[in-house]
Structure 1
Amino acid sequence: MQIAQQILFVALLIIAVVLFSKRIRQIRRNINLGREEVINDHTAQRWKNVLLLAFGQKKMFRNPLVGVLHFFVYAGFIIINIEVLEIILDGILGTHRLFAGALGGFYTFLINAFEVLALLVLLFCAIFLIRRNLLKIRRFISKDLDGWPRSDANYILMTEIALMALFLTMNTCDTLLQARGAAHYAAHPTGGFIISGHLQPLLNGLSDASLEMTERACWWLHIIGILAFLNYLPYSKHLHILLAFPNAWYARLIPMGEMENMPSVQNEVLYAMQPELAPAEAAPPAKFGAKDVMDLSWKNLLDAYSCTECGRCSAACPANITGKRLSPRKIMMDTRDRIAEVGKNIDAHKEWKDDGKSLLHDYISVEELRACTTCNACVQECPVSINPLDIILQLRRYLVMEESNAPQEWNTLFSNVENNFAPWKFSPDDRDAWTETM
């Protein structure tokens, strides 16, 4: 019977790891469909971003209460899962509480710390469920989240609550069986636990057989739940648990008000002013701006997969606040949805087959793009260093420079700059004429 359980456990573990690895490879492939971009400067500052923004969640603490709650949920869930190492080894080797004997009192200290964190995670996840579903906070009731995105967030919170409850129930049964001298459990004494010790009266009426059955059921459900969660992550917005770290590392370090120029455009202007600098056979640029996700850089696509859908960007966006259609959160969600669709297309045909769609127009409308004021509020607010503005600017460049699609006011400005070297409708010769009236 024990051998059969070990074989079943190893089989489940292998299946979970293989499926997770396959999905991660697909996401990596999708991100690499973006154009090349070299980001390797200022290593010290990038490590600082990883520590402060990704691990320390610095931007979350602008709202101190929410920052503390989120930090404990995140840190607690990660730290508690150190205990998964023991569960995996127990499952493979057929042991029980493998580290208890070797670590002694330190093992009791660790599990006590895990139990305190588990209780905090459980309580704080319940608070987050209430905030999302009952308090009607504007960024959580936005139509951006209608359908799957809203359910996704709730499923994750409920899963974390269930996993923490299973962990505490398993420990409660285990320590009760130890106290009763049940052979298999008494042979691996762990000492008393803080939280589960107070839960023992709730289960004290159960027989030894019922307690053992409950403990084993919680053990299996806990590890199966973690393996299922592992494979749910790559399909969920909670992939940011993993991608927040590389995204913080690769964040752009230029000042937020500084826009990235296009070398091809700069060279065109340079060669027009100084033709002698133009190469003999200068190839024209293939494309200005971006129409589809393959025209964006891999960093833009990493941003899309890292999006937490928290809505802080949209809540800070002046266009969104004043009722415009633009939502930076939707820009990132649309980009992720489009690159996922492109990935499925490649998987189905073994190569990219044009599906007649594009990120611009089919996912993101002209009206959304024109509403952006380029104020960088969305970039400033994002807790994981995402830059929606960069995607907006590249799509707008394509609209203007490839499709000649701009409002009449913009066209007037462009014409004045081209003819008069300034936004105003005055020739350079007449520009100082106003001084003659002084």
Structure 2
Amino acid sequence: MIGQILFVLIAGAAIGLFSKNVKKIRRNIRLGKPLDRSDNPAERWKTMAMVALGQSKMTARPVAGFLHILIYLGFVIINLEVMEIVIDGVFGTHRIFSFLGGFYNVLIGSFEFLALGVLLACIIFLIRRNVLKLKRFSGIEMTEWPRSDANYILIAEILLMIAFLTMSAADYKLQGMGIGHYIKAGAFPVSSFIADTLPHNEAALVYTERFCWWFHIVGIFIFLNYIPYSKHFHILLAFPNTWYSNLKNKGEFNNMSSVTNEVKAMLDPSFTPPADAPAGKFGAKDVTDLNWVNLMNAYTCTECGRCTSSCPANITGKLLSPRKIMMDTRDRLEEVGRNIDTHGPDYSDGKALLGDYITNEELWACTTCNACTQACPVNIDPLAIIVELRRYLVMEESNAPASVNNMFSNVENNQAPWKYAPADRFNWAKND
């Protein structure tokens, strides 16, 4: 009974803390400007099913894709076993789903193979990051914390899988000895091979099984509450992020309603802007100027580096890194959220995403080719944030490179990006 009470207290505290942190993140995302992304729901469900559930874009890099799918399947399916552990913890039972008979054996057997697969995949990922040191896992934005964060998660998953298999091995051995409530239930194709490495003493086996049981479930609760502070929050946000992703042609710019209203007024003096028309502010300077999908994108980023490794500007040595754009946006949003918690919603710290986090040089290095969005496994759109920040520079601060300003002048004077007058536009086609 003491164990049940302790379990309920730990589970309640873990779920309560997780809910509190999720509410903060939801609050932060809602600081963004409104945006309607409810169009074409059938296409959106299809996109979510293929990209988030089906992991379709992960296979662009086959090795990493296969290993990630293995971990993903393990995470989803082994959670069925976690359901049983939770029920056992609350009611003091042991292997409550054993009444499923042969099907239960299939379940436990598949869990064990998946646990072994997740264990091996995490070890390979650790080697890729820390021994092979793949280039896309480095960069100026990959400071001590992002690198450590990835390693912490992989090590935690390895420990959880070892605990799960050791628990099963001890259970298997206790079942064979006919000890207490350890009824014969389940198939153990993996853990049975390590059972002989465990003690043969009954008390030691029971202690091992109970220790690993508690370590596994408490470890999951700790992992649950680590996720909101980690890049691995994409585990939850990948699904809504892909559902709300942009279905238009990649790189298509949206018309700014504030500009559209001004143009209409110029063309038609009788035009009256709608009463709910936005104020005449152009682009974004801080995270609160971005829309809520941009902010959700930032929280969804898993820092895999596929965007940056596909960016032609970054490849050629420019300062731009699309991954850094997303990480900076998330860091600034977290800072704004902490300010709200500490000082209230009207507090201003005098800082902004543009300038304090992202520099002009980074923004103007972007060619708007959209390679970053195409490469992202969960349809994050760094280009949308870059464009909004550049709009602010151009339309609010008149701050653009000389080459861009020359192009603007040519468009204004010559109706084309070039310096030639309209009357001379076809001179190149004339015969000598």
After TM superposition, the score normalised by the length of structure 1 is 0.95
1:33-432 counterparts in 2 under 5 A?
A: 33-100=31-98, 102-185=99-182, 188-203=183-198, 205-277=199-271, 285-429=279-423, 431=425
CA pair 273-225 structure 1, distance change in 2 beyond 3 A: same
Letter of the structure 1 residue corresponding to residue 114 of structure 2? L
- Higher mean alpha-carbon deviation, 355-364 vs 130-139, is at 130-139
Q: Is the 8 Å Cα contact of residues 258 and 277 (structure 2) preserved in structure 1?
A: no
Distance in 2 (CA, whole Å) between partners of 1:435 and 1:163 is 72
The superposition leaves residues 262-301 of structure 1 with CA deviations (integer Å, 9 ceiling, x where unpaired) of: 1222332333234344559997843100000000000000
**What SS is found at the alignment partner of 1:58?**
coil
Distance in 2 (CA, whole Å) between partners of 1:137 and 1:258 is 32
Deviation, 1:378, is 0.2
Letter of the structure 1 residue corresponding to residue 56 of structure 2? K
After TM superposition, the score normalised by the length of structure 2 is 0.96
Distance in 2 (CA, whole Å) between partners of 1:38 and 1:17 is 31
Distance in 1 (CA, whole Å) between partners of 2:273 and 2:138 is 56
Deviation, 1:425, is 2.7
- Higher mean alpha-carbon deviation, 110-119 vs 77-86, is at 77-86
CA pair 434-158 structure 1, distance change in 2 beyond 3 A: closer
CA pair 407-144 structure 1, distance change in 2 beyond 3 A: same
Distance in 2 (CA, whole Å) between partners of 1:37 and 1:282 is 14
Distance in 1 (CA, whole Å) between partners of 2:340 and 2:278 is 29
Q: Is the 8 Å Cα contact of residues 368 and 383 (structure 2) preserved in structure 1?
A: yes
Distance in 2 (CA, whole Å) between partners of 1:4 and 1:189 is 26
**What SS is found at the alignment partner of 1:310?**
coil
Q: Does 1:28 align with 2:14?
A: no
The superposition leaves residues 128-174 of structure 1 with CA deviations (integer Å, 9 ceiling, x where unpaired) of: 11011111211112232121001000110111111011011001111
Percentage of matched positions with identical amino acids: 59
Distance in 1 (CA, whole Å) between partners of 2:275 and 2:240 is 40
CA pair 49-280 structure 1, distance change in 2 beyond 3 A: closer
**What SS is found at the alignment partner of 2:178?**
coil
Distance in 1 (CA, whole Å) between partners of 2:395 and 2:187 is 70
Deviation, 1:429, is 4.8
Distance in 2 (CA, whole Å) between partners of 1:283 and 1:59 is 38
The superposition leaves residues 334-371 of structure 1 with CA deviations (integer Å, 9 ceiling, x where unpaired) of: 00000000000011123230100000000000000010
Distance in 2 (CA, whole Å) between partners of 1:68 and 1:437 is 60
CA pair 382-417 structure 1, distance change in 2 beyond 3 A: same
Distance in 2 (CA, whole Å) between partners of 1:128 and 1:343 is 33
**What SS is found at the alignment partner of 1:81?**
helix
Distance in 1 (CA, whole Å) between partners of 2:75 and 2:148 is 20
Deviation, 1:177, is 1.0
Q: Is the 8 Å Cα contact of residues 169 and 195 (structure 2) preserved in structure 1?
A: yes
Distance in 2 (CA, whole Å) between partners of 1:62 and 1:354 is 43
**What SS is found at the alignment partner of 1:260?**
coil
Deviation, 1:433, is 6.4
**What SS is found at the alignment partner of 2:398?**
coil
Q: Is the 8 Å Cα contact of residues 247 and 385 (structure 1) preserved in structure 2?
A: yes
**Structure 2 alignment gaps of length 5 or more:** none
- Higher mean alpha-carbon deviation, 424-433 vs 154-163, is at 424-433
CA pair 131-282 structure 1, distance change in 2 beyond 3 A: closer
**Structure 1 alignment gaps of length 5 or more:** none
**What SS is found at the alignment partner of 1:82?**
helix
Distance in 1 (CA, whole Å) between partners of 2:187 and 2:405 is 75
**What SS is found at the alignment partner of 2:255?**
coil
